[in-house]
A and B are shown apart, each in its own frame.
Chain A
Amino acid sequence: MAEMLYREALNRAIDECMAADPNVVMLGEDVGLYGGSYRVSEGLVSKYGEKRLIDTPIAELSIVGNAIGMAIGGLRPIAEIMTANFSLLAFDQIINHMAKYRYMSAGKLTLPMVVRFPQGVSKQLAAQHSESYEQMLSAVPGIRVFAAGDPNYAYHALKKAILMDDPVVFIEHELLYNKKGEVDLDAEVDPFKARIVKEGEDLTIVSYLKMVDDVMAAVPEIEKQTGKSCEVIDLQSLNPFDTGTLKASIEKTGRLVVVEEDHKMGGYGAQVVSWAAESLFYALDAAPLRIAGENVPIPYNRKLELASIPTPDKIAAKIIEWGANNGL
């Protein structure tokens, strides 16, 4: 066990993979000399040199496009996009190229690569720096999508992602980089499995990334007001998602709430709810509840910004109200 920050866990995962395999390279804006905008690659350039920690120009299409070419050429690239919103410039490469080369070539091409980026509402970064794209990326066949909610998963899943022969989009949250947590360095972690953050009997709350913390902050109030116990699940892997863990939990509790930060329309939680409605209809005692961001670009003003996304207070209030109306 080691206590470390989320960004340190990511750094350690990359460091260990680079030490173990000379073909692992990392590219992106300010990842080398600067050490990364969120300090994820801090110190790595002095260990592995500029040949492996590649500072790129501001050219996201090329960052991902070059990573694909590097992977075809036999390297194991980690492409860092500074913020989720800029990944849109690379969506053509991610969706038309990275996700499809293997399938289109009948498995002859293999792309062992990772595209990492932080996303989500941080603090007043406004509409072009605050969005979340897991829903769009999870809709694309051919990509694994991981979302790291704590240092332990960040460390293990990033290592697995780098070692994996399939392309992975690895999503981080801007407000988690300084989150501290225990990392069990020797544990065997399956990156495709969800994590039960807290066990409970009466209600399953599914979330991922920073919303897991917000849910956990809301749980005492929910349990106090309803007298019921919540089971909280961090999905971690978004595509595929761990239906086994979800099924067992929902069959136990009979109730499902999904909490996500992205816009509600077309949001990722819709996928979880639709799956539950299709496959666990008779296990559910009430209609599921989705708590998500509003369908509005993220505004700068702090009050409006917080009004646009779920917060612990709102999560608690919505679940308590829903519970009261649904016989919880």
Chain B
Amino acid sequence: MDKLTAEEIYYTMALGRKFEYAAKEHYMTGEISGFLHLDIGQEALSVAAMKAFDHGDVFTTYREHIMAIARGIEPKAVMAELFGKKTGVSEGRGGSMHLFDPSHFFYGGDAIVGGHLPNAVGCAYARKFQESEHGVMAVFGDGATNGGAFFESLNIASAWKLPILFLCENNRYAIGTEITRVAPFLEQAKKAEPYMPTMEVDGNDAVAVYEAIKEAQAYIQKGHGPLFIEAFTYRWEGHSMSDPGSYRSPEEIEIWKRRDPIERMKTVLKERYGVSDAQIEALDQKAQTAVDEAVAFASESPEPEVSELFEHLFVEEVTHG
């Protein structure tokens, strides 16, 4: 990883965390509503994976604000979507869980657990069909690995040697259910072993995530078929804003807070790339400004009009019949 990339990743992680805290704050005031799933604590994974996977399509879940931003969608357009505004990336129709932007090959927000995996496999088929150098990355939680769609996807992707990277974000919990209570082991990559090569990575180490995804991207681009990466991480906040989170001990949360991915990346910047404290401070400042601007933009933007309710349902309007 070169210095520029390292700084870019750090900056986006810092931006992501500030973005999430701002979203939390504006959820409290009621400007953001519905289900809001924060990614705080998982920034290394979300950012480094998106930055590394620069040749392909990304399919992911409802916990996707930071990924969307890291993928290149403007923080303003993401925040405006959370505010339900016309200027949001989904024009206020989708909200926090449904951020889509094909111009960035980002099919962000599917909120049916595991439901996007067959879609990612289908897209990988299309890319292979087109002999494209694009592959597909499917991101999902530990909880998604217990559903039928997951196993069907592993099977089809490997049977047809599709260019797809399965990236499992194992944060140990699916809402209140610890993965080991409903699966026979902690490492979900074991489920993929019969089908494809698997790798394990520390999801709180941005450099490690970046390198693993780069390697995986090259592998699937060569037509070897699918690959599975499992990244271990932890969400600091509840599952969503409506989750009291009482199923996790304060000690456990504390242990993971000490593995803060942003602090780790800061150390990397300083020790490996000789970035000064002042330079880091400047990056933090820039990130804060971007978030402040996103919030201002979101709150000043207009809402969609009721007359637009039926817009975007079909490509072709049918007025007869």
Contacts and interface: CB of A to CB of B under 8 A. Distances in A.
A43 interface: no
Given A300-B98, A301-B92, A37 B175 contact: yes
B56 interface: no
B176 A127 contact: no
A91 B116 CA distance: 18
A302 B84 contact: yes
A306 B295 CA distance: 25
Contact of A301 (B113, B146, B176, B303): B303
Interface string A78-100: 00000001100100000000000
B175 A296 contact: no
Interface string A14-40: 000000000000000110011001000
A29 B175 contact: yes
Contact of A57 (B183, B303, B309): B183
A62 B182 CA distance: 13
Contacts of B227: none
B129 interface: no
B94 interface: yes
B146 A304 contact: no
Nearest to B246: A34
Interface string A108-127: 00000000000000011111
B261 interface: no
B112 interface: yes
A59 B147 contact: yes
A299 B112 contact: no
Interface string B93-134: 111111000000000001111100000000000000000000
A299 B309 contact: yes
Interface string A38-60: 00000000000000000111111
A300 B85 CA distance: 10
Contacts of A301: 84-85, 92-93, 95, 303-304
Nearest to B307: A307
A86 B304 CA distance: 28
Nearest to B146: A57
A184 interface: no
Interface in A142-160: none
A127 B98 contact: yes
A304 B93 contact: yes
Contacts of B35: 125, 129
B274 interface: no
Interface residues of A, number: 34
Contact of A299 (B92, B143, B182): B92
Contacts of A30: 175-177
Contacts of B183: 57
Contacts of A129: 35, 97, 111
B311 to A, nearest CB: 10
Interface string B247-266: 10000000000000000000
Contacts of A225: none
B34 interface: yes
B93 A299 contact: yes
Contacts of A85: 112
A279 interface: no
Contact of A33 (B84, B176, B304): B176
B1 interface: no
B34 A124 contact: yes
16 contacts: A29-B177, A34-B177, A55-B181, A57-B143, A86-B113, A89-B148, A127-B98, A128-B110, A129-B35, A300-B84, A300-B90, A300-B98, A301-B92, A302-B84, A303-B304, A308-B309
Interface of A: 29-30, 33-34, 37, 55-62, 85-86, 89, 123-129, 294, 296-297, 299-304, 307-308
Interface of B: 33-35, 84-85, 90, 92-98, 110-114, 143-144, 146-148, 174-177, 181-183, 247, 303-304, 306, 308-310, 313
Closest 8 CB pairs of A and B: A300-B95, A57-B146, A34-B176, A124-B34, A301-B84, A57-B182, A301-B92, A124-B33
Given A34-B177, A127-B93, A129-B111, 15 more contacts: A33-B247, A55-B182, A56-B182, A57-B146, A57-B174, A60-B147, A61-B148, A124-B34, A124-B95, A126-B98, A297-B313, A304-B306, A304-B308, A307-B306, A308-B309
